[in-house]
């Protein structure tokens, strides 16, 4: 528990100027975009959408992960779709061709573009990194090398230790919702709501309103115990398997949620949308199961759909109702309880990053 409750202005979820500043913060932050296993071997690629920017990631023959704007230098058509293996990417519009290091290697009618080709018609490269089992990009081409060690701090080795990045990718689903991006993230910052919102899903096997909280600079970790965790009390400690007994939720500043369970490793990439009352969530899932058996693959798909449906059908519809209430202005503030330390932490570190102080302990004036 935190020492006191915290009051937070509802305007922080509805104000346009604040939203624009937050969106700029996300744009200039390192972005976790997927699992290492999405680029399993040299010559593989995957595509992403990050803050509406199309991104192509490749693993070269040298094993290095690179990222590019997935935009042809001629007329801006995407040069790749989906994921797979390819040595070259051919634009579907006029067949301009690029290798997996982003270099322009040819196309018909080259004589029509002497100045463009002489200046270099390569894809625009983005800073990229492979770290702690995950793929990272910076959306700014001139930002310089990514320093994920500095970004994650002490949390990096722990993320790597779960080996989620090497689990088999299951898929990706998209949720486009009328919900502020922070309100969407707040869904994952406490399990106080499990007994009511997830009464017939997560609350069946996970304890509600019971969590361990730890912060790592701007990031934090929540541990939600399973209902059967007490069964290990009389078992030798060396026999304890962590993920058999709890769920771990990581909040990676500013907009990534990573969940680790015995059955799956989930990534929620939550992006500010077109305005303060809109966000887009890309939900990815990976599984430790062996997909060589089709029935096992089906089981992994079912786990993903179960997890996704709980957010799609339970969390986000309620969040949309909350967003409408805040848009109406009927109440000037919301309350974060002592039992919701993840909410305290997320909003205080965002305030700090923006050079503001908007929340306040109960009994104190709002900043």
Whole-number pLDDT of residue 194: 97
What number is the average pLDDT over the span 139-166?
Answer: 96
**Domain boundary residue, one of 89, 122, 145:** 145
Question: CA-CA distance, 360 to 7, in Å (whole number)?
Answer: 5
Residue 50: give the domain boundaries: 31-145
Whole-number pLDDT of residue 358: 85
* Average pLDDT along the chain: 96
pLDDT tens column, 257-274: 999 999 999 999 999 999
Q: Strand, coil or helix: what is 60?
A: coil
Q: Which residues pair with 32 in a beta bridge?
A: 136
What number is the average pLDDT over the span 151-160?
Answer: 96
Cα separation of the two ends of the chain: 23
What number is the average pLDDT over the span 204-221?
Answer: 97
**Domain boundary residue, one of 93, 116, 145:** 145
Q: Are residues 17 and 163 in the same domain?
A: yes
Q: Are residues 91 and 140 in the same domain?
A: yes
Residue 80: CATH number of its domain: 2.102.10.10
Question: CA-CA distance, 86 to 224, in Å (whole number)?
Answer: 41
**Domain boundary residue, one of 92, 110, 145:** 145
Are 188 and 249 in contact by the 8 Å Cβ rule? The answer is yes
Q: Does residue 135 have a pLDDT over 80?
A: yes
pLDDT tens column, 15-33: 999 999 999 999 999 999 9
pLDDT tens column, 55-90: 999 999 999 999 999 999 999 999 999 999 999 999
pTM: 0.95
Whole-number pLDDT of residue 367: 62
Q: What pLDDT band is residue 276 in, cutting at 50, 70 and 90?
A: very high
pLDDT tens column, 314-348: 999 999 999 999 999 999 999 999 999 999 999 99
Question: Domain for residue 209, yes or no?
Answer: yes
pLDDT tens column, 283-304: 999 999 999 899 999 999 999 9
Q: Are residues 272 and 323 in the same domain?
A: yes
């Amino acid at each position: 528990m935190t020492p006191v409750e915290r009051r937070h202005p509802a305007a922080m979820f509805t104000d346009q100027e604040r939203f624009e500043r937050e969106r700029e913060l996300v744009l200039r932050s390192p972005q976790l975009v997927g699992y290492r296993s999405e680029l399993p071997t040299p010559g593989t690629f995957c595509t992403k959408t990050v803050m509406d920017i199309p991104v192509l990631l490749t693993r070269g023959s040298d094993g290095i992960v690179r990222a590019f704007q997935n935009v042809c230098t001629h007329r801006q058509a995407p040069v790749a779709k989906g994921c797979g293996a390819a040595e070259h990417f051919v634009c579907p519009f006029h067949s301009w061709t690029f290798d997996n290091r982003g270099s322009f290697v040819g196309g018909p009618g080259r004589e029509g573009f002497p100045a463009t080709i002489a200046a270099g018609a390569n894809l625009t490269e983005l800073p990229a990194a492979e770290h702690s089992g995950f793929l990272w990009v910076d959306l700014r081409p001139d930002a310089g090398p990514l320093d994920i060690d500095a970004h994650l701090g002490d949390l990096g080795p722990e993320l790597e230790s779960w080996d989620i990045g090497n689990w088999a990718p299951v898929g990706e689903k998209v949720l486009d919702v009328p919900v502020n991006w922070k309100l969407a993230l707040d869904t994952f910052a406490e399990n106080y709501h499990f007994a009511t919102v997830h009464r017939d899903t997560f609350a069946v096997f996970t304890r509600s309103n019971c969590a361990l909280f730890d912060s790592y600079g701007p990031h934090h970790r929540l541990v939600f115990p399973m209902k059967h965790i007490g069964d290990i009390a009389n078992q030798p400690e060396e026999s304890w398997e962590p993920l058999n007994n709890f769920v771990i939720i990581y909040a990676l500043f500013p907009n990534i949620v990573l969940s680790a369970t015995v059955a799956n490793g989930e990534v929620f990439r939550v992006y500010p949308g077109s305005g303060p009352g809109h966000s887009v969530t890309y939900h990815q899932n990976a599984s430790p199961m062996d997909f060589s058996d089709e029935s096992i693959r089906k089981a992994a798909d079912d786990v993903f759909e179960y997890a996704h449906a709980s957010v799609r059908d339970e969390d986000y519809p309620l969040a949309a109702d909350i967003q409408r209430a805040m848009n109406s202005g009927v109440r000037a503030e919301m309350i974060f309880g002592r039992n919701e330390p993840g909410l305290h932490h997320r909003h205080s570190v965002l305030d700090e990053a923006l050079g503001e102080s908007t929340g306040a302990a109960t009994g104190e004036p709002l900043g």
